[in-house]
């Protein structure tokens, strides 16, 4: 026990190296990474956006970042499967904490998220955001598109297309919610539909915006290799943003979400797909729509934290060879 420590999120001397906290105790940062508001050129910065004022069904995703962090504690100590390595031996990862939002003025949230994302992106190699409802992807795309100088390819794992019509808010601004963020992103030139793809769709929307769709039924009949190949072919070499709405998974694997839809893929199949996306020119990512009040035995939060860990694993492989 002499070599072990606790509260690595506060006691770590840097952004590298594994923690040794008990899996059931200690400060719950994401993957036990050190908390810091100064990423200082880190390879990956993890950030929470606890916002759910743009949902059309069940709220609760504001509690998502905390739940995902807590669930990630089970990955401590051992080499992370299936990467067969300590992800933090060479990859510097920091937990930036959460975005501060004024709950009295939800209409200001997207501007606040975008401004802080721009700030973080100026000091890190990669931003991984924990949500929060899916509307937060809109300001995140704006921040990433600005950094990379043009529209991005969007890889969206989701049960919904999120391409419902835009409306105008009371102050004349474009109104974007969790069901219309894709429409807003296309209209604003943040994503290139010709290189974008949606995976796991199990609902109908009035518009596809020119984005390729892999329906939930399609996923039943093809392998994770084939899904990854379709994604990679669509994206090509366009800088790519990955957003994973946890309701992409069937309710059997992710009941704790705002708008659950039956008939989706398993967590195993989608994780296997992500595992095969190491060749994507990935520039940013988020995991959203975890609503703990509807979860059971943390199964949704565990699935979401595993998706996020896989994304970190891909970054570790890309850096470490």
Nearest to 298 by CA among 64, 127, 109, 78: 64
110 is in an annotated binding site: no
- Say if residues 223 and 215 touch (Cβ distance below 8 Å): no
Instruction: Please return the burial class of 147, using the count of CB atoms within 10 Å of its CB with bins 0-12, 13-18 and 19+.
Output: middle
Element (H, E) at 130: strand 127-131
Element (H, E) at 116: helix 109-121
295 is in an annotated binding site: no
162 is in an annotated binding site: yes
Say how far apart CA 86 and CA 78 lie, in whole Å.
7
Check the CA dihedral 241-281-218-212 and report its sign.
Answer: positive
Say how far apart CA 304 and CA 238 lie, in whole Å.
26
Q: First-to-last CA distance in the chain?
A: 33
Cα 109 to Cα 39, 105, 133, 288, distances in angstroms = 23, 7, 12, 16
123 is in an annotated binding site: no
Check the CA dihedral 285-290-49-189 and report its sign.
Answer: positive
Element (H, E) at 70: helix 64-71
43 is in an annotated binding site: no
133 is in an annotated binding site: no
Say how far apart CA 129 and CA 3 lie, in whole Å.
32
Provide the β-strand partners of residue 130. Answer: 48, 287
Cα 53 to Cα 75, 136, 148, distances in angstroms = 31, 10, 29
Nearest to 228 by CA among 186, 187, 279, 184: 279
Binding site, annotated residues for Mn(2+): 134, 158, 160, 162, 245, 247
Binding site, annotated residues: 134, 158, 160, 162, 245, 247
């Amino acid at each position: 026990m002499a070599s072990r420590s606790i509260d690595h999120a506060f006691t770590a001397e840097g952004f590298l190296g594994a923690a040794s906290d008990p899996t059931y105790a200690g400060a719950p940062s994401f993957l036990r990474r050190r908390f810091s508001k100064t990423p200082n050129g880190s390879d990956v910065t993890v950030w929470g956006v606890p916002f759910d004022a743009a949902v059309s069904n069940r709220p609760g995703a504001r509690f998502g970042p905390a739940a995902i962090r807590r669930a990630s504690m089970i990955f401590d100590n051992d080499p992370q499967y299936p990467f067969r390595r300590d992800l933090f031996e060479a990859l510097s990862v920091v937990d930036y904490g959460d975005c501060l939002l004024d709950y009295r003025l939800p209409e200001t949230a997207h501007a606040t998220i975008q401004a802080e994302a721009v700030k973080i992106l100026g000091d890190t190699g990669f931003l991984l955001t924990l949500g929060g409802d899916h509307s937060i992807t809109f300001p995140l795309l704006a921040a990433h598109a600005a950094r990379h100088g043009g529209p991005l390819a969007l890889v969206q794992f989701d049960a919904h297309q999120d391409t419902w019509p835009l409306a105008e808010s009371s102050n004349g601004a474009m109104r974007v919610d969790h069901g219309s963020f894709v429409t807003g992103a296309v209209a604003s030139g943040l994503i290139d539909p010709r290189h974008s793809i949606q995976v796991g769709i199990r609902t109908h929307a009035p518009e596809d915006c020119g984005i390729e769709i892999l329906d939930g039924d399609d996923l039943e009949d093809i392998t994770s290799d084939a899904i990854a190949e379709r994604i990679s072919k669509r994206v090509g070499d366009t800088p790519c943003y990955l957003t994973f709405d946890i309701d992409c998974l069937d309710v059997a694997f992710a009941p704790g979400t705002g708008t659950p839809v039956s008939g989706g893929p398993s967590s195993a199949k989608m994780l296997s797909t992500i595992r095969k996306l190491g060749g994507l020119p990935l520039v940013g990512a988020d995991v959203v729509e975890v609503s703990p009040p509807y979860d059971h035995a943390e199964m949704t939060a565990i699935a979401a934290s595993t998706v996020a860990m896989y994304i970190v694993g891909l970054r570790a492989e890309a850096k470490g060879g």
